[in-house]
Amino acid sequence: MFEDQIFWESRRSYFKIINDFLTNQIDGNNFCTQIQNLRGENLEQAEEAVRDLEFKTDFKFTSKSIGFTDLVDDLNSFAELFKLELNNSESNESSFSENVIRSKIKEMILPKFLKYL
């Protein structure tokens, strides 16, 4: 519940990264880095929120956020797969894999993600 709320509050940042990747404004490597960095920040914020919960009386939760963390985890899985593919590539270029990842995100993640905007 707390994680979903924290992650959901960053939904526009996640959407910008997704959109930039799908419209070729950033490459797969930058996409992975940005997603993983933002996810890491959100994980830290969620841990901090749980630790400080007993001192906070103004925590606001919206039911719209339920499940958002799972979606970010799915997105992060695509980022990890791409990084793994890139690291295993002899030429250090993985444009086919990048296009596949782009296509899968557009098919599988984007429609679910848009429901949270």
The predicted-structure confidence for 18-58, as pLDDT tens digits, reads as follows 999 999 999 999 999 999 999 999 999 988 887 776 656 56
Average pLDDT over every residue of 104-112: 95
Domain around 65:
2-114
Q: Judge whether residue 15 has pLDDT over 70.
A: yes
pLDDT of residue 82: 84
pLDDT of residue 96: 55
pLDDT of residue 93: 52
The count of domains in the chain is 1
- What HEC string does 45-104 produce? HHHHHHHHHHHCCCCCCCHHHCCHHHHHHHHHHHHHHHHHHHHHCCCCCCHHHHHHHHHH
Average pLDDT over every residue of 57-66: 79
Tell me the average pLDDT of the chain.
87
Average pLDDT over every residue of 94-103: 77
